[in-house]
Structure 1
Amino acid sequence: MPISRIAIGSPGEASQPDALKAALAEFISVLIFVFAGEGSGMAFNKLTNDGSTTPAGLVAAALAHAFALFVAVSVGANISGGHVNPAVTFGAFIGGNITLLRGILYWIAQLLGSVVACLLLKFATGGLKTSAFSLSTDVSVWNALVFEIVMTFGLVYTVYATALDPKKGNLGVIAPIAIGFIVGANILAGGAFDGASMNPAVSFGPAVVSWTWDSHWVYWLGPLIGAAVAAVVYDVFFIGQGTHEQLPTTDY
């Protein structure tokens, strides 16, 4: 069970140079991701007079987030693992791939990166509002919670399959683009219902800068549950000790 590999870490870990470099990489990656993703929505609203809720706006958001996440994961992969998401960090922790103390350091950096990105957007656009995530009028918090759980499950499952699985081999090369694609696809699926966050940091920055906290807990609880379930499922069934590899076809 992955729970047996959970590690707290040493008290001095947060001050180690490699941990601080990793946290800085997470800060920069999230800043890049949120600036591009949130900024694309603000730009689309300006160009279309608040048309981000149209089908074209949804497609634009999906593409912008997919491309930006591909880059953000790529530039951080060799330094911090390219989590770019507190839910991904939590899923990695559940699977024993990162210590609790290092994970907390990542969380702080990720949340700060999102807030700074939104502050920069507000300043650069002359005070335009950074829209916080919100639910559609016909969607309850429980509907949204299910959306966030399922979408984040797909995201973290993809992270495990392409980046964290020891047997990934050459598949690791496409991890950033696979992760970007699943986020883009999930935005197309859930964006019209709850905004399709899948990332507490992405929700946190706009909420802080606009000071809008309606149903904000959904964008934390859903992703964390989805990440934990994905980590346990993938680890137990595909990484765990009992997992066997398929025999080469020449052995049949």
Structure 2
Amino acid sequence: MASGSDRIDEEMGRPGGDDSSFLSSPQVVRLIQKAIAEAVGTFFVIFAGCSSVAVNKIYGQVSFPGICLTWGLIVMVMVYAVGHISGAHFNPAVTITFALLRRFPFKEVTDLCTSQVPVFIISQVVGATLASYTVFVVLHTKPIHFFGTTPAGSDVQSFIVEIIISFLLMFVISGVATDNRAIGELAGMAVGATITLNVFVAGPISGASMNPARSLGPAIVMHNYKGIWVYMLGPLIGIMSGGFVYNLIRCTDKPLRELTKSGSFLKSMTRSNDR
């Protein structure tokens, strides 16, 4: 009787133990490409955004409106740069929500890579941490120049604010990037504008994280975990809620049970998943 690993080898169309053949399979190559795209995209999002915060604290040249625009612009740019490769999540909460809504595959084609979700999340956290370390080393930041997110008031106040702005972000993402009736080419601009608005509104209160990786990277590098639970739970709850609410109001001819069975962040990602 063939062992479990032998059966997997046969299904992959390679002889047992042929690691080079496995790594060169189209499914694995695509997954690696997506992971790299998420890591690089998240790196530049966090590097640009956190650099603007640190530079403003150190030199006072950027200003609060400049910080808001920087976050929005870098997200918009990176969505257009790698959205057609990985879907441009850059956010563990977005990845988890898309997976729950079946707009992102829980199960990969291969048996050895059973889910893309942890691969994406690890790539995002690694990208955010490397970007934070780069900012820390290049700008010689001190504790007073902390470029992460901490509550300005109470933890509960920031927690509620993070839920609200994260809800709005995911609601917009769902509307412009997963609905076939929307103009998909404008998704990057819409998402970037939403982030800019959210930072304007919530920046002075909670730091406007909307992304667990955005808060975790600087916290790890600078060892500042004040209120970190706010930025782990708040964005996750808000983004999941925003995605589910849009999914409920989406106009469709499909029955309710079919509402969560198609699409992805960008339409191009759907095409890549089908290949």
Structure 2 counterparts to residues 84-99 of structure 1, below 5 A: 84-99=90-105
User: For 1:67 and 1:190, how far apart are their aligned partners in 2?
Assistant: 17
Structure 1 unaligned regions, length at least 5 = 1-11, 244-252
TM-score normalised over the length of structure 1: 0.82
CA deviation after TM superposition for structure 1 residue 88, in Å:
1.5
Provide, for residues 197-248 of structure 1, a one-character-per-residue CA deviation record: whole Å limited to 9, x for no partner: 00111101100000111110110111111111111111122056258xxxxx
| Aligned residue among 217, 220, 234 for 2:232 | 220
What is the match of residue 131 of structure 2? 117
User: For 1:16 and 1:123, how far apart are their aligned partners in 2?
Assistant: 34
What is the match of residue 102 of structure 1? 116
Q: Is the 8 A contact 2:50 2:148 kept in 1?
A: no
User: For 1:226 and 1:127, how far apart are their aligned partners in 2?
Assistant: 31
Q: Is the 8 A contact 1:94 1:232 kept in 2?
A: no
User: For 2:178 and 2:251, how far apart are their aligned partners in 1?
Assistant: 10
What is the match of residue 126 of structure 1? 140
User: For 1:231 and 1:94, how far apart are their aligned partners in 2?
Assistant: 9
Larger-Rg structure: 2
| Aligned residue among 147, 150, 173 for 2:185 | 173
How many residues were matched structurally?
Answer: 221
Q: Is the 8 A contact 1:31 1:116 kept in 2?
A: yes
Moved over 6 A (4+): none
What is the match of residue 164 of structure 2? 150
Structure 2 counterparts to residues 1-252 of structure 1, below 5 A: 16-48=28-60, 57-100=63-106, 101-128=115-142, 129-136=145-152, 139-168=153-182, 171-238=183-250, 241-242=254-255
* RMSD, matched Cα: 2.0
Mark the CA change 1:140 to 1:130 in structure 2 (over 3 Å): closer, same or farther.
closer
CA deviation after TM superposition for structure 1 residue 21, in Å:
0.7
CA deviation after TM superposition for structure 1 residue 68, in Å:
0.7
TM-score normalised over the length of structure 2: 0.76
One-letter amino acid of the counterpart of residue 191, structure 1: G
**Seq. identity, %:** 27
One-letter amino acid of the counterpart of residue 122, structure 1: F
User: For 2:47 and 2:40, how far apart are their aligned partners in 1?
Assistant: 10
User: For 1:45 and 1:127, how far apart are their aligned partners in 2?
Assistant: 9
**Worse-superposed segment, 120-129 or 197-206:** 120-129
CA deviation after TM superposition for structure 1 residue 166, in Å:
2.9
Residue 16 of structure 1 aligns to a residue whose secondary structure is: helix
CA deviation after TM superposition for structure 1 residue 93, in Å:
1.3
User: For 2:223 and 2:116, how far apart are their aligned partners in 1?
Assistant: 28
Mark the CA change 1:41 to 1:194 in structure 2 (over 3 Å): closer, same or farther.
same
